[in-house]
Amino acid sequence: MSDPARRPWAVLATGLGGGLFSGLTGVGGGAVMVPLMTGVLRMRQHTAHGTSLVVIIFAAAASAFVYAVGEGIDWALVAVLLPASLAGAYAGARLVQLVPGTRLRQLFGLFVFLVGVRLLLFRDVDPVFDVSGLREAALGAAIGLAGGLLSGSLGVGGGAIFVPAMVLLLGVDQHAAQGASLCTIVAAALVGALTHARHGSLDASAAKLIVPAAVPAGIAGAALAAQLDAGVLQRIFALVAVVVGVQMFVTATRMLRARPALAPRPSEAA
């Protein structure tokens, strides 16, 4: 891996892009940061996922603070999501160590593509389920578990599941869903980052350089979300995500087909 300090523009772009998207849409920002970390900063795939989670802790916390001061946070919703998301983040961060780097790149490409499609096709719709009480809590816990697994395994905040699931399945208001998502992301990313650190798949020195750019960008993104309709910006990102996701998926698939007998070990770079 190259020294991130020698690529200050790439470090700045990684932090600003991840933080801004985190605050604006209520997701962690890993869909922006991980491709930049692997492609520009030359990180190993697993290391990029762990490092992204460290940055997400601070960016999401800064964004959540803005939501708490402005729109307010639905803490009851956070309480439903949080326990299952922590369990999912821990399990995801452990399981991903068994996945070869190239396969992980393929899965991440698919994830980024699906995030882009989701942002393009779904915005404000009627909830799929009409539930309340224990059933609503159970569905919320399932959403938390799914988002936590995604967070720990792919180095993202999990908001790409939290936000659309709360809006589409539970009928939660978009801004309320984003605020609750960011609060849950902070804790889930912390668990995932600690688990990656124990496995040595985390670059703390790079995270220290990226966080100072990500935090103010997260605050700015959250402030924009409170004042503006984020639909246009979401769709711009969605188009970029679709292109990046397809490119990563196709490249990794070609690599796997070209040398199936030489598939890298989990510790190897993608």
CA distance 88 to 148: 4
Read off the pLDDT of residues 13-68 as tens digits, 9 standing for 90 and up: 899 988 988 888 787 788 788 888 888 888 888 888 889 999 999 999 999 999 89
Q: Write down the mean pLDDT value for the chain.
A: 80
Q: Is 269 exposed, middle or buried (0-12, 13-18, 19+ CB in 10 A)?
A: middle
b (16+ CB within 10 A) / e for 111-124: bbbebbebbeeebe
Residue 133's pLDDT band, with cuts at 50, 70 and 90, is low
Read off the pLDDT of residues 201-243 as tens digits, 9 standing for 90 and up: 889 989 999 999 999 999 998 888 877 665 665 676 677 678 7
The lowest-confidence range among 12-16, 129-133, 142-146 is 129-133
**Which CA distances in Å does 253 have to 184, 263, 264?**
33, 11, 13
CA distance 21 to 118: 15
The SS3 call for residue 158 is: coil
CA distance 11 to 5: 8
pLDDT of 32 reads 82
pTM score of the predicted model? 0.75
Nearest to 188 by CA among 23, 74, 54, 73: 54
CA distance 14 to 165: 27
Which residues neighbour 67 within 8 Å (Cβ) at sequence distance 6 or greater? 73, 175, 178, 179, 182, 222, 225, 226
* Residues 171 and 126 sit within 8 Å (Cβ to Cβ): yes
Domain spans of the chain? 7-262
